[in-house]
Amino acid sequence: MPGRRDVLKFAAASLTLLVSRVGAGATAASSILAVRVWPARDYTRVTLEHDQAIRYSHMLVKDPERLVLDLEGVEFNSVLQMLPSKIIDADPYIRLIRAGRNKPGVVRLVIELKGEVKPQVFALKPVGEYGHRLVLDLYPAEPVDPLMALLEKSAEPPLKAEPGLGQRPAQPAAGSEKPEPGPEIARLITIVLDPGHGGEDPGAVGRGGSYEKHVTLSVARRLKQKIDATPNMRSVLTRDGDYFIPLNQRVQKARRVQADLFLSVHADAFIKSTARGSSVFVLSENGASSSAARWLANKENSADLVGGVNIGVKDPYLARTLLDLSQTATINDSLKLGKDVLGELGRINTLHKAHVEQAGFAVLKAPDIPSILIETAFISNPEEEARLNDEAYQDRMAEAILKGIRRYFAKNPPLAKSKLARLD
């Protein structure tokens, strides 16, 4: 920990002031190295990357809604001056940012908001390519519910939205008052597609400069279209934009919509540019199936460090997931799904590994949803990088994955949904 963290809280009717100190020894002026803004429907993130720890405080002010952030001992340099110009009109939460020197040694940012937000402001220590980061996450006061998003988009909604569902985000989707009809032969299947990485976390970067996070989103969007065009199937993306989602929240989104399957889409990378081919992974409860699989799981799990998680926020869900006894049965189904998808990928690409591998991937830990992680190809291989950026190839990749999914369901027809465990 870089020094202790002091939190002073002044609660008034319309004013909250939080003062945090990071890096108690910081005396020389810190320079802002980069500013990034990641607008998304889930939340908008503003990142200030700087060369040494800084002191900061923030307060939320009403009428109109705005967030005021004071940065102590920070130069008001040209990078920081660029921040206001990075706000787009379509940003769901930020109207505009004003930046200026407030008093000697203090730079003040005033973020004018489009509505009420619940801000999280936290510091991240240097990791990977990044220096120190100060992160402002602006969440809506009323959380966005992926289930509602699904219902809005679905052409044939099978789930009945209850009044007040938005106020009770942990409510299971089976909100229908009517009892389930007998055995369902062809019920609607919900597939959650998880484009790996996003926002602050670019994932692997190809030699030609392409980012894994863009390739994964592109392939997942194509797959979503194909699934949605398939009778009795629909899909939800964990993210449909360039922003970061912690790994456990990807799992939670899948559980909230009672997904039948969860597919995390990635692109592999290795030091040697000759490494190539597709591979498929599932969760392992007892260690990795190979050292390469363990290495990969560690790499994918580091997404939270790079992407930036506020460790001050407790996640009671994660501990529960690890203890769930239904995991073994789910892993068996995941292996079957993985095999079918791998078989189809083998028709359009070299296979990096001819069998499904297992390791402790955090994103595959839904206890009750068969989950696989697909490494579509090696973005570190120039030839495969070019193919990953090719729309026709992305389409073939999506088609192959869909075929694998259909093959799996042909052999393992979906059962009537039992009452799922409540999340709350």
Segment lying near Zn ion (by CB under 5 A), choices 14-22, 198-206, 222-230, 412-420: 198-206
Residues 321-350 that bind Zn ion (CB under 5 A): none
Segment lying near Zn ion (by CB under 5 A), choices 19-27, 76-84, 258-266, 381-389: 258-266
- Closest CB 266 distance from Zn ion, rounded Å: 3
* 250: contact with Zn ion by CB under 5 A: no
Query: What are the helix (H) ranges across 42-141?
Result: 78-81
* 195: contact with Zn ion by CB under 5 A: no
User: Residue 320: how many CA atoms within 13 Å on its side-chain side?
Assistant: 14
- Closest CB 212 distance from Zn ion, rounded Å: 5
* 55: contact with Zn ion by CB under 5 A: no
* 214: contact with Zn ion by CB under 5 A: no
Report the residue number, 30 or 376, with the smaller CB distance to Zn ion: 376
Helix (H) or strand (E) holding 221, with range, is: helix 212-228
CB-closest chain residue to Zn ion: 266
Residue 358: CB atoms within 10 Å: 24
Q: Which of 105, 181, 169 is nearest to 143 (CA)?
A: 169
Proportion of the chain in helix, strand, coil states, percent, rounded to 5 = 30, 30, 40
* 360: contact with Zn ion by CB under 5 A: no
Report the residue number, 196 or 404, with the smaller CB distance to Zn ion: 196
- Closest CB 234 distance from Zn ion, rounded Å: 25
Segment lying near Zn ion (by CB under 5 A), choices 81-89, 189-197, 248-256, 343-351: 189-197
- Closest CB 277 distance from Zn ion, rounded Å: 15
* 266: contact with Zn ion by CB under 5 A: yes
104 Cβ contact list (under 8 Å, min separation 6): none
In angstroms, rounded to a whole number, what is the distance separating the alpha carbons of residues 385 and 210? 7
In angstroms, rounded to a whole number, what is the distance separating the alpha carbons of residues 193 and 371? 10
- Closest CB 51 distance from Zn ion, rounded Å: 28
User: Residue 241: how many CA atoms within 13 Å on its side-chain side?
Assistant: 15
Q: Tell me the site size for Zn ion, rule CB under 5 A.
A: 3
* 203: contact with Zn ion by CB under 5 A: yes
Q: CA Rg, the chain, in Å? A: 23
Q: Which of 329, 335, 356, 358 is nearest to 345 (CA)?
A: 356
* 202: contact with Zn ion by CB under 5 A: no
- Closest CB 141 distance from Zn ion, rounded Å: 32
In angstroms, rounded to a whole number, what is the distance separating the alpha carbons of residues 417 and 258? 9
Report the residue number, 39 or 196, with the smaller CB distance to Zn ion: 196
- Closest CB 311 distance from Zn ion, rounded Å: 22
* 213: contact with Zn ion by CB under 5 A: no
CB 254 within 8 A of CB 366: yes
Segment lying near Zn ion (by CB under 5 A), choices 23-31, 259-267, 278-286, 320-328: 259-267
* 196: contact with Zn ion by CB under 5 A: yes
User: Residue 353: how many CA atoms within 13 Å on its side-chain side?
Assistant: 16
Residues lying near Zn ion in the complex (CB under 5 A) are found at 196, 203, 266
